[in-house]
Chain A
Amino acid sequence: MKKSTLLSLLVVSSVFADAKLDLLQKQLNKQQMQIYALETKNTNQSASFSQNAYLPAIALILNMSAVARDVNNTAYEDLSIPGFIDYNPTNKNSKAELPFNKSRGFNLNYAEVAMHSAVDPYFDAFAIFHLHPHEFEIEEAYVQTRSLPYALRIKAGKFKSNFGRMNFKHQHSWHFDAQPIIYKALFGPDAISDAGIQLQWIAPTDTYIMTGIEALQGTNERSFGDKEINNLYVSYLKSSIDIGEDLSILGGISLAHGKNLTTHTTDVYGVDLTMREQLGAYSSLIWQSEYLQRNKKIDETTNKQGGFYTELIYRINRNYYCGVHYDAITKNDIDLQRYSANHINTDNLNRYLVKIDYKPFSMSRLRLSYSYDRTKVIAGERKNINTVMLSLNIAAGAHGAHNY
């Protein structure tokens, strides 16, 4: 029985010898493929920008400082910027928000947790949480489209508006730890940051031209804040040209149109200009300026107030940066009688800042700065404040690529 089976098998195999040859050929091919697969096994198989397979890319940012200031802490908390932040002892809401570097001595400003991930082929998701010593804050949490046609992009959620030049930037990416006075005066420390929706478009031109519109809730009570309905609309136009390989210029105009707490209209206009000259691989010069004006209608009068900042940053080499910054309020057409009645001068509101940054590594930064602030009224008199500060910022985890 066994023999006959073997015999028939042999016969069959000789009959199908050709077929067997084919099979061998196929096996050989397969082996070759396997060898090829082995050879190519050590090529980079990971997704281009992923840092952690499918986990969101996570970054941890810590910001802290040591501050010396010639005003004691209690007095400083009750500061006024005449016409913008008018502290009134009987109204707790009139206090300035001071989340950064408030105290003489030591400050832990925040621990920031930033996450982003592609949700699917259509959306990216971003979340930035600020953990203050006694407070948890959602700085931003939004989704953004990845695949709309015609260079359109929609963002929805809570986000920092793209108004102006500084507005969308987080505190740790500012050139100076202190916020420009005009931003602080018009919007407070978070600037225009709200729940809403944004649409942006890039023109199909050689020259960079970008325009965007945003519909926002308008919760910022310094300039807007009408509680009955979403009230804020922002639009802007930005353009940039390169002159040669090393000089780039970015300019923008912006408008924020909303309703304030008195349900009347507030318009804020902004113009900004940034010039950047690359001087070497690790050396550059940045000159950035911005002017903002607010026309805020209260009852029958429209109060026109405005100011600018201008700053020059010189990156000396791989590890050192230095910079100067000047702020000024240039327009303050508002009733300032409560100051003049007490013989408080409200002219020439301005501030000077200088700084040196030391970055031993791209993820850490030590910054020494000096500020001479002539915009404040404290305890019923104009007080020019001197501040020396040493701050430390570190970013661990996912590489936060540098913005322009």
Chain B
Amino acid sequence: MKKTILLTVLLATVIFAQVNVDATYSTLGAIAKKIGGDNVKVTILGSSKYDPHFIVPKPSLLSKLRRADLLIINGAGLELGWLPPLLRNANNPKIRNGANGLLDISHFVPMIDVPATVSRAFGDVHSQGNPHYTTDPHIVLIIARAIEKRLIEIDLDNAKAYQTNLINFTKKWQKYLKKYDADMQMCKTKKVVQYHQLFNYFLERYNIKSYGTIEPLPGISPSSKHTIWLINTIKDEKVKVILQDIYHEKRTAHFIADKTGARVALIPHDLGSLKDTGTLESFYNTIKEHLCR
């Protein structure tokens, strides 16, 4: 009796051996879940409540990385401030840089804002281009394809399932995008300012112009001189909306709003960073609603 239970348990674990997929951020993880389905176990490393550039390198992340078969990273330098030492200390050759188990999505995304010259005199510039591409709902499909391809390479036995999942997801997402794009056509917001250049992919996609950032330089706290310049720009250009992410201080944005009459719109940067943004659809819907309201 005991033996058969043990046997079935063993058999079950063999049959249902899932691919351990770690994703550095929640949007990437949600897409991985869509493609991987029941064949993968997805773990998110970075909390979407906080600044994605500075995830706390908790030791518990090491035990998550240690068991990963596939690590999906955003890339383009977004994880540079926290992931490299964790990766070195996780002792997992499957996901080391250069191995098949490390999937850098930025290698598949056309980068924007690639600086011609880089110096820290200009702040903590993203030297490889703007890494915040997950705010653009169209890039979801690029991410999905990249994940499908890599999952097939890693887990050939379930290739059929991954292909089917991708086809189904693509169909559904294209339908969603059609409606989304139509809604965005109606969006009255055409001019914005933002805190950090977090939403450029989204703004570029829908022809919304960003006139500046609240931080004077990337990674540098607001200064009064720069804030005055921004207030004047908002007045001159008749900017109506200030995009505020959830993790930076909000005082400066509200101060600017008071002085200019512009509206502060709280925009999620990653899945789950605001209430009721736990699915891909609700995440992108919230961006749209908060921006266009």
Where the two chains meet, the residues of A that have a C-beta atom closer than 8 Å to any C-beta of B are: 39-40, 42-49, 51, 118, 121, 124, 144, 146-149, 151-153, 200-210, 238, 240-242, 245, 248, 250, 276, 278, 280-282, 284, 317-319, 360-363, 396, 399, 401-404
Contact = CB atoms under 8 A, between A and B. Distances in A.
Nearest to B127: A51
A370 to B, nearest CB: 26
Contacts of A241: 60
B120 A238 contact: no
A330 to B, nearest CB: 28
A188 B220 CA distance: 37
Given A153-B89, A250-B59, A401-B57, 16 more contacts: A40-B110, A42-B110, A43-B107, A44-B75, A44-B109, A44-B128, A49-B79, A202-B62, A204-B66, A204-B67, A248-B60, A282-B54, A401-B84, A402-B54, A404-B57, A404-B59
A253 to B, nearest CB: 15
24 contacts: A39-B110, A42-B110, A43-B107, A48-B102, A48-B104, A124-B88, A144-B88, A151-B92, A152-B91, A200-B91, A207-B63, A209-B63, A238-B59, A241-B60, A242-B58, A245-B49, A281-B51, A281-B54, A282-B247, A318-B221, A360-B221, A362-B124, A396-B120, A401-B80
B26 to A, nearest CB: 12
A399 B80 contact: yes
Among A49, A148, A210, chain B packs the most CB atoms within 10 A around the CB of A49
A402 B97 contact: no
Contact of A42 (B80, B98, B114, B124): B114
Interface string B63-83: 100110000010110011111
Contacts of B89: 153
Given A317-B249, A319-B221, A402 B60 contact: no
Contacts of A362: 81, 124, 219
B96 interface: yes
Contacts, number: 141
A361 B67 CA distance: 35
Contact of A48 (B50, B73, B120): B73
Interface residues of B, number: 54
B248 interface: yes
Given A201-B91, A404-B57, A245 B47 contact: yes
A49 B59 CA distance: 21
B106 interface: yes
Contacts of A203: 63
B212 interface: no
Contacts of A210: 59, 62
A44 B62 contact: no
Nearest to A49: B84
A238 B62 CA distance: 12
Enumerate the 6 nearest inter-chain pairs by beta-carbon distance, A residue then B residue, closest first. A240-B59, A281-B247, A147-B93, A151-B91, A208-B63, A44-B106
B187 interface: no
Nearest to A395: B120
Given A48-B73, A205-B63, A282 B51 contact: yes
Contacts of B247: 280-282
A203 B129 CA distance: 37
A284 B55 CA distance: 12
B51 A43 contact: no
Contacts of B84: 49, 401
B51 A242 contact: no
Given A44-B76, A48-B75, A281-B51, A240 B120 contact: no
B108 interface: yes
A200 B92 CA distance: 12
A238 B56 CA distance: 18
B144 interface: no
Contacts of B127: 51
Among B66, B106, B124, chain A packs the most CB atoms within 10 A around the CB of B66
A276 B59 CA distance: 11
Contacts of B96: 146-147
B37 interface: no
A399 B219 contact: no
A208 B66 CA distance: 10
Contact of A361 (B51, B91, B109, B219): B219
A208 B111 CA distance: 36
A46 B128 contact: yes
A202 B82 contact: no
B109 to A, nearest CB: 6
Nearest to B111: A44
B90 interface: yes
B115 interface: no
Contacts of A245: 47, 49
Contacts of B114: 42
A248 B128 contact: no
Nearest to B129: A44
Given A43-B106, A404-B56, A146 B93 contact: yes
A401 B81 contact: yes
B39 to A, nearest CB: 20
Interface string B249-290: 100000000000000000000000000000000000000000
A208 B91 contact: no
A403 B57 contact: yes
A208 B60 contact: yes
Contacts of A152: 91
B226 to A, nearest CB: 14
A88 B98 CA distance: 56
A276 B108 contact: no
Nearest to B74: A48
A401 B59 contact: no
A360 B58 contact: no
Contact of B60 (A151, A204, A240): A240
A151 B110 CA distance: 35
Contact of B66 (A144, A151, A401, A404): A151
Given A278-B56, A281-B248, A401 B83 contact: yes
